[in-house]
Structure 1
């Protein structure tokens, strides 16, 4: 395995961990426990005595936010930069890989700026949503580099499977964004029951909180349905991405059922974190299946030249 693939795979795993940790920060209301940036209460490493009593935060909340920043800035940031450089070097004969390397570096810079904006804008819903979308896009790019295959290993690019992968990913990104808005606007329990909302299939959307909540439900359901169709089509066409797509569909269904349970349990913090973890696994599976199609991993759809060669050989 090439160095850029290994580095990208490690960076992708760290990105998943960071998104889940971000959910823990959000679920425990720790997002503003470090009110300044890039320091925390004016210190690179805040100690219990550095936190004023009037701040209103426990030390564990400060540490959650601080560790989130530490992993992002000190570990993941340099690693993504390394991935970008390695991809640029490895992709001298593959323009698409070079593009992904550049994208990884650009997204890293954007994400660093957004991290500061999110804090300085006091975790506004729009900034949190954009921050999460950028992280999800970076994860997708890293998976693309990790799953890259050289031209000599290419099979046939199945455009139907690829189109479904892209569509499913886009819908998943919208579902992610609406989830962030729901979390930051405190509308998790705007509908106190599930699968109905206040006993109705289609509640009164004039209530802005119900409207925000229902938009996420609709997009999440759409994302799950898209993943199911994606998995069925990919497996039916014998594509190796079919198994990964099935994982995406399963993750989406579990996330949806878990959300219903969490609503009935009034969304305790641990359930918010677990729900986010399942959702990011869903998106990672969708992205991985899409890249397997884009990089034309070998599968049963044999290229025309190969079919002709087999015919000549009497196979």
Structure 2
């Protein structure tokens, strides 16, 4: 067994960028949950300045340019800090793309695709402000952030030292367990699709300010079935001067919230099924344990959000833990589909193949 050589500078850059992307997602969630998305009414600056206006003359100028948007320093700083960190992330991704093309053997296409997604994410950030928090843009911006983190994680998986698997023993194991592996891959992909759908529902819930309309468990109080309105899921909503604090009526917000809760139940079922199938193979049990552990934390955070009326730090954690759950499922799919398993898994499958042989 031999390993791919470790490209230390590139690996370090990708790893650092990945962790920064996690911070960006967390800060972005904090910005959204503190209603600071329009803390600066323009983009990329703030009231015409590159930073939050502070002096008396700057405040007067800002008020003259945007008379309908009084300066709220706390919200403005929340928004600008998010932009500064996101801008730093963009520069690091640009460095990744340049370094990928500067040396053979580095993932050029994935790095370039990642750079393209970051550019589009910057546009979404601009449109979030210029379109006054239009829900479809806000949801797309959230999904874009999760996509960037996932792509950085995939890139890190691609370049980390790993054994190569084109050995007779492993091929023999594949031929013996083809049905099991096919089922496992199918379940993993299905779980990934469900998790992504649930994240999108969470983004739609947040974008339409529907997170606190239901205060009882397990689904919602009142006649939520009778109130269900499919129009709540129309991606292009009627034109409004601003979408801040939401424009949908109570019944429509209940419809969104209830759908998100039902989605959470469906997601839980799929994750548990995937975890159960993974548990059947000892070297894959770590993925099963990680999934169940993170899923349990996410459920607790979701319930706490309902019972405690969306406490800020819990709500931010709910976003980040949802992202971590996505990364675990992404990792599982990558390991199964790309056959890029750990040394522990290689040892197990090789010994199993020898036993069957």
Aligned residue in 2 for 1:132: 142
1:86 to 81, 86, 99: 99
2:296 aligned with 1:253, yes or no? Answer: yes
Partners in 2 of 1:303 and 1:34 — Cα distance? 58
Call closer, same or farther: CA 1:208–1:309 in 2, change over 3 Å: closer
Aligned residue in 1 for 2:40: 34
1:168 Cα deviation from its structure 2 partner = 2.1
Call closer, same or farther: CA 1:232–1:83 in 2, change over 3 Å: farther
Partners in 2 of 1:141 and 1:307 — Cα distance? 33
Larger radius of gyration: 2
Listed one character per residue, the Cα deviations across residues 180-213 of structure 1 (whole Å, up to 9, x for unaligned) are 2211212112222121310679564243221111
Please tell me whether the aligned partners of residues 6 and 146 of structure 1 are also in contact (alpha carbons under 8 angstroms): no
Aligned residue in 1 for 2:12: 6
1:246 Cα deviation from its structure 2 partner = 2.8
* TM-score, length-scaled by structure 1: 0.85
Call closer, same or farther: CA 1:4–1:294 in 2, change over 3 Å: farther
Q: Secondary structure at the match of 2:282?
A: coil
Partners in 1 of 2:145 and 2:128 — Cα distance? 13
Please tell me whether the aligned partners of residues 87 and 100 of structure 1 are also in contact (alpha carbons under 8 angstroms): no
Call closer, same or farther: CA 1:204–1:14 in 2, change over 3 Å: same
Pairing of 1:90-129 with structure 2 (within 5 A): 92=105, 97-129=107-139
Aligned residue in 1 for 2:177: none
Q: How many residues were matched structurally?
A: 305
Partners in 2 of 1:154 and 1:201 — Cα distance? 53
Partners in 2 of 1:35 and 1:144 — Cα distance? 35
Higher alpha-carbon deviation: 28-37 or 167-176 = 167-176
- Residue segments in structure 2 that go unaligned for 5+ positions in a row: 1-5, 175-180, 230-250
- RMSD after superposition: 2.9
1:194 to 217, 237, 244: 217
2:27 to 21, 29, 40: 21
1:178 Cα deviation from its structure 2 partner = 1.3
Q: Secondary structure at the match of 2:349?
A: coil
1:221 to 221, 241, 265: 265
Please tell me whether the aligned partners of residues 268 and 295 of structure 2 are also in contact (alpha carbons under 8 angstroms): yes
Call closer, same or farther: CA 1:295–1:151 in 2, change over 3 Å: farther
Runs of 4+ in 1 over 6 A off after TM superposition: none
- Residue segments in structure 1 that go unaligned for 5+ positions in a row: none
Call closer, same or farther: CA 1:310–1:258 in 2, change over 3 Å: closer
Aligned residue in 2 for 1:243: 286
Aligned residue in 2 for 1:293: 336
Listed one character per residue, the Cα deviations across residues 120-150 of structure 1 (whole Å, up to 9, x for unaligned) are 1111111011111122122111111101257
Partners in 2 of 1:309 and 1:151 — Cα distance? 24
1:255 Cα deviation from its structure 2 partner = 1.6
Partners in 2 of 1:30 and 1:205 — Cα distance? 30
Partners in 2 of 1:274 and 1:152 — Cα distance? 35
Call closer, same or farther: CA 1:91–1:308 in 2, change over 3 Å: farther
1:88 Cα deviation from its structure 2 partner = 4.4
1:33 Cα deviation from its structure 2 partner = 0.6
1:284 to 324, 327, 343: 327
1:60 to 63, 69, 74: 74
Call closer, same or farther: CA 1:44–1:71 in 2, change over 3 Å: same
1:251 Cα deviation from its structure 2 partner = 1.8
* TM-score, length-scaled by structure 2: 0.76
Call closer, same or farther: CA 1:88–1:303 in 2, change over 3 Å: farther
